């Protein structure tokens, strides 16, 4: 397959997506071989008409989970954790109102096969920002009183943000650092991701895109709260921009942030995702398009959506961000690939 990237033609496509999907802003990055392309269209804030630029910061939502998976696998490479070890070996005080939780392993948590339910309320409107916020949530009544949907040994997929908050606390527990400090020291700094943080409350918010929602009259309105709460740092709090997410994509395409052999473990299928034909690996999802395998993750929260996918066989990545709840960024990503590719 040959990939053709005509920057003007791509911009044409993106303008159509911006118009037909009625988005406030759309930011896209495509990396192919040694070339990187970035586009930004629309508004950072549709109410003030402030234009969107490629350096603007987006809330990346669940793309954060790929940082969690990589952190666990870095610790696995060093022999600090074992993927087959029980969770309670690392968090002995952890409890749920269902004795089957004692059989949950790190692999179950990473692959959303633990049987854990999802978070009930993220409390974006009243965020906690202190260093112990994550620990308080993991040991909170919401988690402690929860029941598993099924036994982890069944290996069935159910997307659980609780599982990733727990993994974040495992990282903090075994490294004696906060989850955010570990990621900063072992991922952001080595890769030069200087525009990225998990501590959004420390940012200059003038650099950050405003989160939008559609009213019943189909008008843009601002979400009254930003989707940040340190209690849910590992599941969803990455804020970054196209440049830095491109560095993250390249580190995984070229297998530099983990040992090359570790990617066989990271990208091995663990369970089928119902309804869409994708599979979950260890924090990464994988899917096929035009017979090529893509690894990636979506990010969805109030006012933002991100689609982050890479194809090692083609040395290609496509990142699509928008500052609108339910923006169809995955559809845009797939359509972009179809438009760029031409089978010989």
Q: Is residue 199 part of a domain?
A: no
Q: Is the pLDDT of residue 4 over 90?
A: no
Q: Which of 117, 177, 122 is nearest to 147 (CA)?
A: 117
Quote the longest CA-to-CA distance of the chain: 58
Residue range 91-138, pLDDT digits in tens: 999 999 999 999 999 999 999 999 999 999 999 999 999 999 999 999
Q: Is residue 296 part of a domain?
A: yes
Statement to judge: residues 226 and 330 lie in one domain: yes
Q: What mean pLDDT, rounded, does the chain reach?
A: 97
Q: Is the pLDDT of residue 74 over 50?
A: yes
Distance of CA 233 to the CA centre of its chain: 11
Q: Is residue 194 part of a domain?
A: no
pLDDT band for position 344 (cuts 50, 70, 90): very low
| pLDDT at residue 343, as a whole number | 40
pTM: 0.97
> How is residue 273 annotated by DSSP?
P
Per DSSP, the three-state class of 92 is: coil
Q: Are the C-beta atoms of 25 and 322 separated by less than 8 Å?
A: yes
Statement to judge: residues 81 and 149 lie in one domain: yes
Q: What DSSP assignment string belongs to 183-249?
A: HIIIIIHHHT-TT-BS-GGGS-GGGBPPPEEE-TTS-EEE-SS-S--GGGHHHHBEEE-HHHHHHHH
Q: Is the pLDDT of residue 341 over 90?
A: no
Per DSSP, the three-state class of 312 is: helix
Q: Is residue 226 part of a domain?
A: yes
Q: Is residue 10 part of a domain?
A: yes
Statement to judge: residues 218 and 260 lie in one domain: yes
Statement to judge: residues 33 and 101 lie in one domain: no
Residue range 169-181, pLDDT digits in tens: 999 999 999 999 9
Per DSSP, the three-state class of 252 is: helix
Q: What is the CATH number of the domain that holds 116?
A: 3.40.710.10
| pLDDT at residue 278, as a whole number | 97
Q: Are the C-beta atoms of 339 and 3 separated by less than 8 Å?
A: no
Domain extent at residue 112: 67-179
Q: Is the pLDDT of residue 17 over 80?
A: yes
Q: What DSSP assignment string belongs to 129-177?
A: -STTHHHHHHTSHHHHT---SS-GGG------HHHHHHHHHHHHHHHTS
Q: Which of 134, 162, 179 represents a domain boundary (last residue)?
A: 179
Q: Is the pLDDT of residue 217 over 60?
A: yes
Average pLDDT (141-161) is 97
| % of residues, the chain, pLDDT over 70 | 99
Polymer length of the chain: 344
Statement to judge: residues 310 and 291 lie in one domain: yes
Q: Is residue 187 part of a domain?
A: no
Average pLDDT (145-157) is 97
Q: Is residue 152 classed exposed, middle or buried when 0-12, 13-18 and 19+ CB atoms within 10 A define those classes?
A: buried
Q: Is the pLDDT of residue 67 over 70?
A: yes
| pLDDT at residue 3, as a whole number | 86
Q: Are the C-beta atoms of 63 and 183 separated by less than 8 Å?
A: no
Q: Is residue 187 classed exposed, middle or buried when 0-12, 13-18 and 19+ CB atoms within 10 A define those classes?
A: buried
Instruction: Indicate the range of 67-71, 300-304, 338-342 predicted with least confidence.
Output: 338-342
| % of residues, the chain, pLDDT over 90 | 96
Statement to judge: residues 157 and 221 lie in one domain: no
Q: Which of 323, 327, 329 is nearest to 44 (CA)?
A: 323
Statement to judge: residues 233 and 328 lie in one domain: yes
pLDDT band for position 164 (cuts 50, 70, 90): very high
Q: Any bridge partners for residue 35, and if so which? A: 32
Number of folded domains that form the chain:
2
Statement to judge: residues 233 and 145 lie in one domain: no
């Amino acid at each position: 397959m040959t990939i053709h990237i005509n920057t003007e033609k791509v911009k044409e496509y993106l303008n159509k997506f911006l118009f037909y999907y009625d988005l406030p802003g759309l930011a896209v990055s495509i990396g192919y071989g040694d070339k990187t392309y970035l586009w930004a269209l629309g508004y950072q804030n549709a109410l003030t008409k402030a234009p969107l630029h490629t350096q603007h910061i987006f809330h990346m939502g669940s793309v954060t989970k790929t940082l969690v998976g990589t952190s666990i696998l870095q610790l696995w490479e060093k022999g600090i954790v074992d993927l087959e070890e029980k969770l309670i070996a690392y968090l002995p005080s952890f409890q749920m109102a269902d004795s089957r939780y004692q059989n949950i392993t790190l692999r179950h948590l990473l692959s959303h096969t633990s049987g854990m339910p999802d978070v009930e309320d993220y409390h974006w409107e009243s965020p906690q920002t202190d260093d112990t916020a994550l620990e308080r949530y993991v040991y909170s009544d919401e988690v402690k009183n929860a029941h598993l949907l099924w036994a982890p040994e069944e290996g069935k997929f159910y997307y659980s943000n609780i599982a990733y908050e727990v993994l974040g606390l495992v990282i903090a527990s075994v490294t004696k650092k906060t989850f955010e400090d570990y990621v900063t020291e072992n991922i952001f700094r080595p890769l030069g991701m200087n525009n990225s943080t998990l501590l959004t409350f420390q940012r200059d918010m003038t650099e950050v895109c405003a989160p939008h929602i559609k009213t019943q009259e189909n008008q843009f309105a601002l979400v009254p709260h930003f989707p940040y709460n340190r209690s849910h740092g590992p599941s969803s709090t990455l804020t970054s921009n196209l440049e830095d997410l491109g560095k993250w994509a390249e580190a995984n395409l070229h297998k530099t942030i983990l040992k090359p052999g570790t990617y066989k473990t990271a990208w091995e299928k663990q369970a089928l995702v119902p309804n869409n034909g994708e599979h979950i690996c260890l924090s990464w999802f994988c899917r096929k398009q035009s017979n090529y395998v893509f690894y990636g993750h979506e990010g969805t929260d109030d006012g933002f959506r991100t689609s982050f996918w890479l194809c090692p066989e083609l040395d290609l990545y496509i990142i699509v961000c928008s500052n609108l709840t339910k923006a169809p960024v995955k559809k845009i990503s797939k359509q972009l690939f179809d438009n760029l590719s031409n089978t010989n």
